[in-house]
Structure formats: structure tokens, C-alpha cells
Structure 1
Amino acid sequence: MKNKLNFIDLFSGAGGLSEGFITAGFNPIAHVEIDKKACDTLETRLVYHKLKSENKTQNYYDYISEKMTREDFLKKFGNSEISNSVINIPIGGKNNDVIFSKIDKLLKKEKIDLIIGGPPCQAYSLVGRNRDKDRMKNDSRNFLYKEYAKFLKKYTPKVFVFENVMGLITAEEGTYFKNMRTYFKRLGYELDFTIQKSEHFGVLQKRRRIILIGWQKGTDFNYPEFDKVNEEYAVSQILSDLKKLKPGELNNVTKYANPTTEYLEKFEIRNGVDFVTQHVARPNIERDLKIYKIAIKKWLKKSERLRYPDLPTELKTHKNEKSFVDRYKVVDINGLSHTMVAHIAKDGHHYIYPDTKQVRSLSVREAARIQSFPDNFFFEGGRTAAFRQIGNAVPPLMANEIAKKIKEQL
């Protein structure tokens, strides 16, 4: 216990970043997150990790296989320390004092070794800036790094990890990123950053992210070199064992339809049980399904994306043929998925299943697998909330490699 490495996760979301650090052996003291449903997911997962440490995971599997209500599950196997450690309060202003007080009680005079997190990225993302008439200049989320810094100042961790989108580098011609780094350095941290490709960590999607790491000045720490996964895998390896679905079909708990694959075994995605949860697809109207079918055929036959202007007139719903013409996108079954984002919670047009025999968008479980969440990771709050949490998450496989390399030095 003396060698415990304690961490706080800020802007936690559903806990993709945290999952990687817990799996690497770090000890979570607190998660701070504004979204109540994401907080429910965090609490459920923390109870899972507690039961896993006690060799009692069957109790967790009874819950996610719907043999027990969530209320009974938390009452029997949760505890106040876990529920208090998930802090559902917006970071910033006077709220910080409340959050600090809660964390101090959880710490019991121990030290924080690490702070991790990535503030909401909409204000930095290229898409967000393009959609906003002021290009996000007046968005308060631009300055959430200052709130992150207040936690660094209070808890003086040895190391911190700040994850965000590549647009952070170019926002306001680089001013935000430059100011951010200056701000962190004033608090006594050396820092460096790289742009990482998620597929180098085994994640089956093209996702580019800034990984900024800071460490206390004067300490023997260097920015890690991450091990690269050299094997090439394709999305087909995470779709082939799941049951076929119709649009709107609900397989909240179902058996696997086919044997596992090399990828699912190697990266421990299909882990520990003979059933899978949340393999549910959103319903679609007939017009969208006709469009999906055209998009699927075009992609599978010619590797070409469907452009909105190319649709038959009877399938078009608006006259704007210049903006967002690529809103219908099929997932590449023979390669990597395009980046998973939170918009998948609003519609599935950008994540169409790559098969004319299953004309639909991705299920919750398929989206979770593309983000490298293990199959026993359960998202609370229903289908839409699950999609939002998945789209906003840091892939756990990526997080785990970062965690292992930091742990080696700490």
C-alpha cells in the first residue's frame, strides 16, 4: 500500500482515460465530471474494480446481465467511499472549493501523485470553430486549462497528463496552446507534448490527439517513448463475433454469435464472460436506410464516400449541397474506423455498419469496441447517453500505454 500511486481524473467523462490508469495499477482518489450519467458509469465501473480485487466479479456480471437492479447492486457491493469519490460538480469558480473539500476528505492526508484529464474539446476542435459564428473566441471552455491548473497548484502532483484534440495547437493561431504551456510552467512544471495516433496503441480507429505531459521541475523524469503496436488489424475483427442486428433492435444482453478473434483476445476486449451487453442499434426511418444502402454499396465496391449532392432527388431533404456533404459515412471494415466523436449520440449517419445485409448504424457495443473499451465495461443512462460517453472518451488502450510508461518512471 505504501507504493500506491494516487491520481485524480478531471473532466473524467465515462472514464476511458481512468480505465487505462487503473488497469496499470494506479489508485483513483477522485473523478470530477459534470455529466450525471457519465458519473453513474464511473461509479458502476469503480464497483467493478473493487469486486475484481476481491475476486467477486460474478456479482458485477449478475448486475450487467440484468439479474439485479442497479439500486440493489450499489447497495450490496458499493460503498460511500466510491460514491463520494465520483464528484458530479462543474469545475470552476466557487465549485472548486467544494471539490477540494471532498477530495481532501477522500485523501486522508495522503499525497496525489498524478492528475489526468482533458477539458471539453469543442472550443478547440476545427469542427466546433467552423460551426460557431465567433469561431469559439467567447467560449468559456477555452480557459478550462486554468481551472485544471488550480488543481495542480493545490495538489502539486509529481506528473500530470493533459489530453486534447489537435485543434488546440492551431486555435487562435496557437495563442491558447502557448499561453497554456506558459501557465503550467509558472506552476513549476517542465512539460512536453506529442501528437499520438491511436492505432499505434492498438485502437482500431484513426484518431489523433495531443498528449501533453508535465512533471515537477528538478525531478528525474522524461517524456515517455511509447511502444508502438506493429500488427495491423481491421475493424472486421471486432464485428465478426457479434449477433446480426436490425435497426432499433435491442440486445441488451446476448450471447456471442461467433468465435473470438486474434484482436479481441490480444487486447482483452472480449474479457471474461460468455455474453455481451448493450449490443443495441438505434432505429432509422426508411429514407435513411435507403441512403445507408447506397452509401454502403458505394464504399464496399469502389471505396468511395457518398456525397450528399449525389443522392437521388427524392432522398434529399434540403437544398444546401455545399456544407457537410459527407454526413453519410460507412465504417471501413477492412481497415481502421474514422474518428469516433460524440455526435454519434445525435444520429448514426457518420457511423454506418459496413454490410448490405445489416443496413443500420453501429450499435453501442460496436462503437465501444472501436474506442477499445472492454466488453465488460457498462455505460449507464441508456443508448443515447452511452453513445455520447463513448464518443467523448479517451480510448482505454491508449490510456493504458501512457499509464504504464509513466508508472515505470514514478
Structure 2
Amino acid sequence: MDLLAQPAADTVHDKIKRLLCGGTPRMLDLFSGCGGLTTGFTRAGFTSVGGVEFDAHAAASYARNFHSGDKESHYGQARDIRELDLEELLGTPKSRIGTAVDVVIGGPPCPSFTRVGRAKLREVMDHPEAFKLDARTTLFLDAMRVIEQTKPIAVMLENVPDVLNQGGRSVGDEMAEYLSGIGYQVSYTLLNAANYGVPQTRDRFFLMAFAAELGARPVFPEPTHWLEIPKGYKSSRDVALRLLGDLSSHPFYRPPSEATPDLTPAVTAQQALGDLPRLVERLSRGARRFDTPLPTPAPKQMGAFASTVRTWSGFENTGSVSDHVTRTLSERDLRLFAAMKPGDQYPEAHALATSFWEKAGGDPARLREFVPPYDPSKFPNKWRKMEPDAPARTLMAHLGKDTYSHIHYDSSQARTITVREAARLQSFPDGFQFCGTMNPAFRQIGNAVPPLLAYQLGKAMRSGIASAMSLDVEATAS
């Protein structure tokens, strides 16, 4: 791959000409997952020409939501970007690949970029710097190859903040430098989803690039909501930015616009989930089915967030949801969830459990009936009961194995969140369908870019393209 090769000017100019004539930007989503980015970008006026996703359940969800019909099986195939056949995916001869895609978006897998991921890799691979050996660390190079082949006029890439400080290496800067070297104007920043209407504090890296022919530098969206970001997120951001040096003179980093208290307050967990049916029935053990509709009548008074996810064009709530299901819980955990206070984490839960055990007689033989087996000093964040009047904390991909990080704030329900509630906290519209069983659905949601944030990013990208082409696209973005 020649990273110094410039985008073919004629190809880029042809795409600009097509958009000037009223064409819709055609986007290709790399590492698409189930389609969080695509959900927001389609609302902002883009059209999907396909997604590239290795996970079979996520690929099926992507196709179900964006390419249902005769070609759903084609678009729903799991594909490895390292062996990607663009001609086969796009149904386009090799000579025409450069004309088939206007925008490339995506988020390379991030486990080896995160501190949690690094620890897991070291454990599995028994190497002190195993994260540097993980093949997923270099998948962004395959994204660069696809960008060179498709020659988009704009690019949007997402990742965890630690992509800027991966063991003393800034992969974010490497991506920016590569794109700059092949003819793009590049900017990146860190944005928190809670500042854009998502009921979740979630910090992520976003890179936006425009083909030099546009003559414009990317600009990121202004915050729409106010939240005093918790200290832990601020310190993690500081660690991620440490390698960049003087931020005021960095060639690619753009500090995000500050949210101010005069903005709409951040969407809370209760505003996100309060209109969904209460679940108090304790289900028997076994697989949870997604195909049983549960009525979701609209409340007399409905907040802006609930209204948005219920009425999202193309993904409307038609009166029910079929994935409002959760895990089977033990009596021990039901007892604890009911007694925990909002904001309580595992150490508080463990102390409560110990007190219940002592009140029951303190019989060592019955200890595990009351007390979970995890050391509270080693697993302080393993459990957390959400606060009704604040956004949820970050949803992780391991929701597929452990939802105790998001215990419902309502003590009378005494449970972890459902698949649909996780989707709500990630701002997926109610009509979005997840393929697979419960664990794969949770994983898809935890891995996704929040669609509402993606929508704001998509609008900012379209606005930047339109400004550069003197084309008003506001009427086409719903």
C-alpha cells in the first residue's frame, strides 16, 4: 500500500459534482458492528452501501436494519476486512470501486487500545507488552487500504481515548498522519456522549477527514446538553492526551467545545427508561426470546429523549418491543439489588450482603447464600446501581457476560437492565432490531457508537461538505 499516493482528483471531483447535483452521500461502514454509526448517519441524510463486520450476529443485525429484503443475506455476511473483496461487497467492477463510495466511517476494534484490554491480553498471551502483538492493533491499516481504494471525500473514525496513548504510541496520530499523507485534511477530538443527548457518560475519540479538494478543515458538532463530567472520566482523558504535548499547537487535535450550564441538562437514566414497562416477574432459568412483543403504550407526558427514540424515522416504535428481557437472578442478588442505594457499587453491596448473612445467624455453611464471592477491594466497579437523576455510566461490550455494572435504579424491580434498556441508554431507536440471543445483543449494544451522537457527527460532516460546495443540505437531514 503506497501511503503517499494522493486521491485521484478526477474521482473526488466526480463525487463532488454528483453531490452538487443533489445526490445523497453514499457511505461504507468499516467494523460496522450492528450499525450505531450508520443509524445516526442515515438520519443525517447519508445512504448505506454496506458494512464490513467480522462478528456474525452484528453483521446480521446491520443487514436486517439497513438492507432488509432480497439482498439481506448478502449484506449480512460476516466479513474479515483483512480479506475484504470490495467488488463482491459493493457489486461493482474493480475499475468502478473508486466511484461507488463517497464517505467511509467506522471504528477499528479497540480491546488492545484500552487499559482493561491490555491487562487481559497480557494474561492470555503471558507477555508484558502483549497488547503490541495483538493483530487488532493494526486493523486500522486495513481501513487505510480501503480508504485508498474507495477514495471517499470524507472519513469518520471512532475509537476509545486510549488510542492516543497505547503504551507510549499514539495510534490516533498515526491514522491522522496516514490520511494527511494521502491527501486529506484531518482533525480529531474527544467527545462525551452525554453532551449530545445520550443518557450515558461515554468518552470516545473521533477523527474526521475531508479530501483536500474540498478545501475545508473538519469541524466537530457543538454540545447540545450540559453535564459535569465525573472526575474519573476527566482523569482518563488526561492520561490519553498526555503524549500529545502542547495541545494548542498540535497539527490534528482539536479541543471539543465546552458544554455550559445554560444548555439542556443531560438526559438521565429515568428519562431514558421510565416509559418502558416495569418488569417485576422473576423468570425461570433458560434462554430469553426476543420474539414475544411487550406492549409499550406511550405515556401521557413523554420527554424529548423518549419521543426521539420512539419516533425515529425508519425505526419507529409501533406499540411494542420484543427485546425487553433480562437475566435470571439469584435470590441473593435480588435481595441486594432491592437494598442498594442509587450510586452504590460492589463494596457497598458486599457490606450489605455481609450484614444480611450476620442477621440470618452467620452460619459459615450459608455464607454463599448471602455474600457474593468477589473481593470488594479488587472489584470495586463490578456492580453499580444506576442513579435515576443522572446519565448511566459507560456501557461496555462485556455487558454480554455481566450486566451487574448497570443495575436498575428502581428498587421495586430489583434487577439488571434489559436488552432494550441497554439499547435506550446507548440511544438506539425502539424499532432497531438485534439479531442473535441475549448475550450477543448486549455485546452489540456495548460495542456501538451511540446513534444520537453519530447523528450529530453526521450533521456536522454534511454541513462541512455542503459549506465547501456551497450546497445547503439542511432540508435533507431530518
Q: TM-score range by the shorter chain?
A: 0.7 to 0.9
Displacement of 1:4 in angstroms is: 2.1
Task: Provide Cα deviations, 1:245-303, integer angstroms capped at 9, x if missing partner.
Answer: 13448683111256052124552435352222211111112223233234xx333xxx4
What CA deviation, in whole Å up to 9, does each residue of 1:191-237 have, x standing for no partner? 11111110121100000011111122242222224132231232111
The question of whether the paired residues in 2 share the 8 Å contact of 1:85 and 1:106 is answered with no
Q: Quick one: which amino acid aligns to residue 356 of structure 1? A: S
Which residue is 1:243 aligned to?
A: 277
Q: Distance in 1 between matches of 2:428 and 2:95?
A: 32
Paired with 2:181 and 2:417, the residues of 1 have a C-alpha distance of 45
* Residue of structure 2 aligned with 1:162, choices 154, 157, 161: 157
- 1:10-409 residue pairs with structure 2 within 5 A? 10-47=30-67, 78-80=69-71, 82-92=72-82, 95-96=83-84, 98-105=85-92, 109=96, 110-133=99-122, 134-135=128-129, 136-229=131-224, 230-232=263-265, 233-245=267-279, 246-248=281-283, 252-256=292-296, 259=299, 261-270=302-311, 271-294=316-339, 297-299=340-342, 303-307=343-347, 310=351, 311-312=353-354, 314=367, 315-318=370-373, 320-409=375-464
Distance 1:352 1:309, change over 3 A: closer
Q: Does 1:9 align with 2:43?
A: no
Give the residue type in structure 1 aligned to 2:135.
S
Q: Which has the larger radius of gyration?
A: 2
CA distance 1:25–1:388, change in 2 (3 Å)? same
Which stretch of the first structure deviates more once superposed, 348-357 or 251-260? 251-260
Cα offset, 1:323, TM superposition: 2.1
Contact 2:309 2:427 survives alignment (8 Å):
no
Tell me, in whole angstroms, the C-alpha distance in 1 between the residues paired with 2:198 and 2:94: 34
CA deviation map 1:81-108 (0-9, x unaligned): x44334421111xx13x24443252899
Contact 2:29 2:105 in 1 (8 A): yes
Is the Cα contact below 8 Å between 2:37 and 2:450 reproduced in 1?
A: yes
Superposed CA RMSD: 2.4
Distance 1:343 1:320, change over 3 A: same
CA contact (8 A) 1:247 1:360 kept: no
Name the aligned partner's letter for residue 183 of structure 1: Y
Identify the residue that residue 73 of structure 1 maps to in structure 2: none
Q: Please state how far the C-alpha of 1:322 moved relative to its aligned partner.
A: 3.2
Once residues 273 and 75 of structure 2 are traced to their aligned partners in structure 1, the CA distance between those partners, rounded to angstroms, is 35
Say which SS state the counterpart of residue 169 (structure 2) adopts.
helix
User: Helix, strand or coil: the match of 1:132?
Assistant: helix
Opposite residue 180 of structure 1, the aligned amino acid is M
Query: Using the alignment, how far apart are the partners of 1:175 and 1:372 within structure 2?
Result: 30
**Structure 1 SS opposite 2:167:** helix
* Offset, 1:317: 4.6
Alignment check: 8 A CA contact 1:242 1:256 kept: yes
8 Å contact kept, 1:240–1:258: no
| 1: CA distance, partners of 2:57 / 2:375 | 35
In structure 2, do the counterparts of structure 1 residues 46 and 369 end up closer, same or farther at CA, with 3 Å as the change threshold? same
Following superposition, the deviation at residue 152 of structure 1 comes to 0.9
Alpha-carbon distance in 2 for matches of 1:380, 1:193:
32
> What is the rounded CA distance, in whole Å, between the counterparts of 1:323 and 1:44 in structure 2?
41
- Quote the Cα distance in structure 1 between the aligned partners of 2:73 and 2:43: 20
| 1:269–1:369 CA contact under 8 A, matched in 2 | no
Instruction: State the distance in 1 between where 2:36 and 2:305 align.
Output: 18
Alpha-carbon separation, structure 2, partners of 1:341 and 1:36 = 19
Aligned to 2:234: none
3-state secondary structure, aligned to 2:113: coil
Gaps of 5+ in 2: 1-20, 123-127, 225-262, 358-366, 466-478
Number of residue equivalences? 372
User: Is the 8 Å Cα contact of residues 87 and 94 (structure 2) preserved in structure 1?
Assistant: no
Whether the aligned pair in 2 keeps the contact of 1:292 and 1:352 (CA below 8 Å) is yes
Residue type of the partner of 1:289? L
Structure 1 range deviating more: 182-191 or 306-315 = 306-315
Deviates more, 1:272-281 or 1:379-388: 272-281
- Does the 8 Å CA contact 1:277/1:378 hold for their aligned counterparts? no
SS in 2 for 1:278: coil
1-structure distance, mates of 2:450, 2:310: 12
Q: Determine if contact 1:238/1:263 at 8 Å carries over to the other structure.
A: no
Q: Deviations over 1:316-352 (max 9, x none)?
A: 4546443222211112211100001111110221111
What is the deviation of 1:190? 2.1
How far apart are the structure 2 equivalents of 1:101 and 1:2? Answer: 27
Letter in 2 for 1:38: A
The 1:285/1:99 distance shift into structure 2, 3 A limit, reads farther
